[in-house]
């Protein structure tokens, strides 16, 4: 069978067309397929993925470090690692799972590297988000000075006991509570089975219920 010859000029035109895909065209593609486009040299695909996931990753990092500047730096490092891994990327899992695995590893490493600093300061998991101004699990009410004080004590207790959880339990709670990820997604990030993830979260929430018995 004869082979269809394609001129170098036509190939270049096709490459140029790919690199100028509109955001609407990427929106119809699976993230893994966009990563494969990036692996082939389509930088527009990388720009689209950054725009799509930048805020969620910053929010995720913010929940771990509660410092906007550090969260943005870590998010930038996440996407830098995505870019550096483009040529070896394999669509063996959901792109978001792979992305959050990178983010989780960076967050854990940062926590280990700054443990002595965190011991000397307070990290707030449930203050208003630096980018959205929202507190995802606390109602925006003003019940009075006494109730406000009780609420603040409860928040302090929650953050202290969440941070005191074992590393994997803490990360699972952050993903489950603040990112809205399901058992399978969390398990994929932490490389655990779905049943092991359920067990991990059960133990974490059971510990929190015991520790917070006086506040809930």
Domain ranges of the chain: 17-123, 130-216
Mean pLDDT, the chain, rounded, equals 76
SS3 214: coil
Please say if the pLDDT value at position 203 is more than 90: yes
CA distance 116 to 18: 48
Q: Which two tokens stand for residue 102?
A: 């990178």
Q: Encoding tokens for residue 154? A: 């409860």
- The larger pLDDT score, comparing residue 207 to residue 7, is at 207
Lowest mean pLDDT of 30-44, 112-126, 157-171, 200-214, name the range: 112-126
Helix H or strand E segment including 48: helix 43-65
Residues 102, 104: Cα–Cα separation, whole Å = 6
pLDDT at residue 146 in the model: 58
| Predicted TM-score (pTM) of this structure | 0.65
- The yes or no reply on domain 130-216 and CATH 3.30.70.260 is no
- Overall average pLDDT of the 83-112 stretch: 86
Q: Which residue has the tokens 């009410």?
A: 141
Measured between alpha carbons, how far is 31 from 13 in angstroms, rounded to an integer? Answer: 24
Residue 180: pLDDT over 70: yes
CATH number of 17-123: 1.10.1740.10
Predicted pLDDT at 147: 64
Q: Report the pLDDT value the prediction gives residue 197, as an integer from 0 to 100.
A: 93
The percentage of the chain sitting over the pLDDT mark of 90, rounded to a whole number, equals 23
The token pair that represents 152 in the structure block: 């603040």
CA 36 to each of CA 5, 25, 30, 88, 101: distance values in angstroms, whole numbers, following the listed order:
24, 15, 10, 10, 18
Averaged pLDDT for residues 143-166: 70
By C-alpha distance, which of 158, 124, 126, 122 is closest to 140?
126
Q: Would you say residue 172 has pLDDT above 50?
A: yes
166: number of Cβ within 10 Å: 12
d(CA 197, CA 187): 5
Residue 43: per-residue pLDDT: 86
pLDDT tops 60 at residue 182: yes
Question: In the chain, count of helices (H) and strands (E)?
Answer: 11, 0
Give the pair of three-digit tokens for residue 131: 């980018």
Confidence of residue 202 (pLDDT cuts 50, 70, 90): very high
Confidence band, pLDDT 50/70/90 cuts, at residue 138: very low
Where is average pLDDT lowest: 28-32, 174-178, 183-187?
A: 174-178
The pLDDT of residue 150 is above 80: no
Q: For the segment 4-53, what is each residue's pLDDT rounded down to a tens digit? A: 444 555 445 444 444 455 556 787 889 999 998 888 888 888 999 999 99
Contact 34, 49 (CB under 8 A): yes
- Of the candidates 5, 116, 136, the one whose C-alpha atom is nearest the C-alpha of residue 60 is 136
Closest alpha carbon to 52 in 61, 42, 40, 44: 44
């Amino acid at each position: 069978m004869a082979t269809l010859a394609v001129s170098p000029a036509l190939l270049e035109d096709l490459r140029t067309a790919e690199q100028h895909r509109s955001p609407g065209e990427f929106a119809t593609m699976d993230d893994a397929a966009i990563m494969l486009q990036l692996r082939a040299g389509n930088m527009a695909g990388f720009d689209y993925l950054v725009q799509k996931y930048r805020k969620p990753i910053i929010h995720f990092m913010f929940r771990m470090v509660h410092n906007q500047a550090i969260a943005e730096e870590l998010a930038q490092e996440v996407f830098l690692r995505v870019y550096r891994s483009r040529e070896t990327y394999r669509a063996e899992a959901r792109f978001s799972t792979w992305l959050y695995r990178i983010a989780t590893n960076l967050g854990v490493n940062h926590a280990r590297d700054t443990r002595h600093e965190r011991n000397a300061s307070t990290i707030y998991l449930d203050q208003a988000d630096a980018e959205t101004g929202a507190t995802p699990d606390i109602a925006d009410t003003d019940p009075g000075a006494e109730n406000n004080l009780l609420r603040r004590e409860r928040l302090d207790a929650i953050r202290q006991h969440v941070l005191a959880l074992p590393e994997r339990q803490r990360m699972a709670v952050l993903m489950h509570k603040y990112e809205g990820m399901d058992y399978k997604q969390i398990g994929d990030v932490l490389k655990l089975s779905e049943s092991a993830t359920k067990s991990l979260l059960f133990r974490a929430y059971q510990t929190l219920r015991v520790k917070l018995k006086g506040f809930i």
